[in-house]
Amino acid sequence: MSGGATRREKKEYSKVKENELKKDEACFLQWEAAPHQQVQALLTKTRAELQLEMTEILGFRNHNICMKEAALLDYYVCGFWWAKEANFTPIQTSFTMAVLHMLLDNIREKRMPLVENLTEFAKALGAVSQGCTSEEGTTPLLDEEEAMALISCIRNSLFQKYRLYELLFTTSREELLMGTERTIKVFGCQGALTPLEEGIPTHLYFQ
């Protein structure tokens, strides 16, 4: 009984929190690629359905033959799926996707080095962890546990692979493929990362 009551209370609290956050939604980064209602619908999809719809949202028509599109699709799908498994609300999920997009765009468009991008991430996270206003009772978008989980997610998905994403946006497809082939030839089975470990389908390395 107590376990059921706890689940009901948590569900009710989440609804209250969601309603409060909708009032302050403009204060937070929100994912421009998909409106709130679409994000909410995406959270009900299976992973296969999510990937299919994400392909349409992002306009990745060549992800089956283009390594860059395949890597970016995997980046966004994994980020969204992580938010779903973390039981993030639609607004929290939208913020997560907006941050993932912002950090990636900082690499692609602004050629921002790692330290500066970390600073941008810290600013975005600080805003949602403190709430939009200084009024008492203001509910932050992410509590401490959720913020720490998001930090871990983005560290693993982007910051630990920062150089790879820099190369992805500054190196031609032909150069990337040649570099991969050389890596395979040099390292063989001596512990080199396989394509799947980087989240990219194996066949895309050998087009």
**Residue 158 near residue 104, CB atoms below 8 Å:** yes
Q: Which of these, 205, 137, 141, lies nearest to 173 by C-alpha position?
A: 205
Give the whole-angstrom CA distance, residue 64 versus residue 204.
7
- Contacts made by residues 106-109, CB under 8 angstroms, sequence distance 24+: 107/162, 107/165, 107/166, 107/169, 108/169
The chain-wide mean pLDDT, for the chain, equals 78
Give the whole-angstrom CA distance, residue 17 versus residue 23.
10
The pLDDT, as a whole number, for residue 174 is 56
pLDDT tens per residue across span 117-149:
999 999 999 989 876 544 555 688 999 999 999
The pLDDT, as a whole number, for residue 176 is 52
Give the mean pLDDT of 108-121.
Answer: 95
Q: Tell whether pTM > 0.75.
A: no
Give the mean pLDDT of 192-197.
Answer: 40
Domain positions in the chain are 10-192
